[in-house]
Amino acid sequence: MEIWINPACSKCRSALTLLDAEGADYTVRRYLEDVPTEDEIKAVLDRLGLEPWDITRTQEAAAEELGLRDWARDADTRERWIAALAAHPKLIQRPIITADDGTAVVARTDEAVRDALSR
């Protein structure tokens, strides 16, 4: 499994602590440094079963600058959202764990981390 993290994020650090406590085999991707491509974001969205606006941190300064709150949330604007996430990775909700079974979870709670571990 892989976990996308921002080391400054307390939820990410908590997820890593739980993964370590459970003896999980995982790799860390510091997604602010190793920025996901648009194709990688699409793949993770498919694994999550979510849309790009579902994993967008709309409270970030970049979201305000882009005016994301006013963007439509539909098929016609999906690519625009994905491009924004790739250009501004800080907007991506974290942590995201890609599970061994091909799914993924936004692991903001211990329960979500445990769910990823059980897959």
Residue 97 half-sphere exposure, CB side, CA atoms within 13 Å?
29
Query: Which stretches within the chain are classed as H helix?
Result: 10-21, 38-48, 61-66, 78-87, 110-117
Element housing 42 (H / E) = helix 38-48
Residues designated as active site: 9
